[in-house]
Amino acid sequence: MNLDKAHNMTMLCDFYELTMANGYFRSGQKERVTYFDLFFRDVPDGGGFAICAGLQQVIDYIRNLHFSEEDIDYLRGRNLFTEDFLDYLRTFRFTGDMWAIPEGTPIFPREPVITVRAPAIQAQLIETFLLLTVNHQSLIATKANRITRAAEGRTVLEFGSRRAQGIDAAVVGARSAYIGGCKGTACTLSDQVYGVPAGGTMAHSWVQMFDTQYDAFRTYCELYPNNATLLVDTYNTLKSGVPDAIRAFNDVLKPLGITTCGIRLDSGDIAWLSREARRMLDEAGWTGCKISASNSLDEYIIRDLSRQGARIDMYGVGERLITSSSSPYFGGVYKLVAVENPDGSITPKIKVSENVDKITVPHFKKVYRLYNRESGKAEADYICLRDESLDGVSELELFDPFATWKRNTYRDFVAKELMEPVFVNGELVAQERPLKEIQGYCQRQVDSLWDEVKRFDNPHHYYVDLSQKLWDIQNALLQRSGRPRPQ
- pLDDT tens figures, 263-296: 999 999 999 999 999 999 999 999 999 999 998 9
On whether the CB atoms of residues 265 and 302 are closer than 8 A, the answer is no
On whether the CB atoms of residues 381 and 106 are closer than 8 A, the answer is no
Q: In this model, does residue 297 exceed pLDDT 90? A: yes
Q: Which of 306, 336, 236, 325 is nearest to 277 (CA)?
A: 236
The vertex-423 CA angle with 417 and 426, nearest 5°, equals: 155
pLDDT (0 to 100) of residue 1: 41
Query: How far apart (Å, rounded) are the C-alpha atoms in residues 141 and 175?
Result: 8
Query: How far apart (Å, rounded) are the C-alpha atoms in residues 110 and 43?
Result: 11
pLDDT (0 to 100) of residue 6: 52
pLDDT (0 to 100) of residue 481: 81
pLDDT (0 to 100) of residue 299: 97
pLDDT (0 to 100) of residue 356: 83
Span 249-273, average pLDDT = 97
Q: Which of 136, 127, 277, 290 is nearest to 201 (CA)?
A: 290
Angle of helix 127-150 relative to helix 299-307, nearest 10 degrees, comes to: 10
- Report in angstroms the alpha-carbon separations of 29 from 13, 20, 340: 20, 10, 12
Q: In this model, does residue 487 exceed pLDDT 70? A: no
Type of residue at 395 = E
Query: How far apart (Å, rounded) are the C-alpha atoms in residues 135 and 346?
Result: 28
Q: In this model, does residue 4 exceed pLDDT 60? A: no
Span 376-397, average pLDDT = 95
Confidence of residue 111 (pLDDT cuts 50, 70, 90): very high
Burial class (CB in 10 A: 0-12, 13-18, 19+), 225: middle
Neighbours of 250 (CB within 10 A): 14
Confidence of residue 15 (pLDDT cuts 50, 70, 90): very high
The vertex-114 CA angle with 455 and 390, nearest 5°, equals: 80
Type of residue at 184 = G
- Report in angstroms the alpha-carbon separations of 339 from 120, 228, 347: 9, 61, 5
| Structural element, H or E, at residue 50 | strand 50-51
Residue 70, sorted as left (phi over 0), alpha (psi -120 to 50) or beta, turns out to be alpha
| Structural element, H or E, at residue 445 | helix 435-447
Beta bridge partners of residue 420, listed in sequence order: 100
Q: Which of 167, 194, 145 is nearest to 45 (CA)?
A: 145
422: phi then psi, degrees, rounded to nearest 5: -115, -50
DSSP secondary structure code for residue 252 in this structure: I
What is the CATH T-level fold of the domain 9-140+328-481, as seen in this structure?
A: nicotinate phosphoribosyltransferase (3.20.140)
Q: In this model, does residue 19 exceed pLDDT 70? A: yes
Span 121-128, average pLDDT = 97
Confidence of residue 190 (pLDDT cuts 50, 70, 90): very high
Q: In this model, does residue 364 exceed pLDDT 50? A: yes
On whether the CB atoms of residues 231 and 203 are closer than 8 A, the answer is yes
On whether the CB atoms of residues 21 and 121 are closer than 8 A, the answer is yes
Task: Note the helical H segments in 40-198.
Answer: 55-63, 69-76, 83-89, 120-125, 127-150, 167-180, 188-194
Query: How far apart (Å, rounded) are the C-alpha atoms in residues 284 and 475?
Result: 71
Q: In this model, does residue 314 exceed pLDDT 90? A: yes
pLDDT (0 to 100) of residue 354: 81
For the chain, the straight-line distance linking the first and the last C-alpha, in angstroms and rounded, comes to 51
Give me the residue spans of the domains in the chain. Answer: 9-140+328-481
Burial class (CB in 10 A: 0-12, 13-18, 19+), 484: exposed
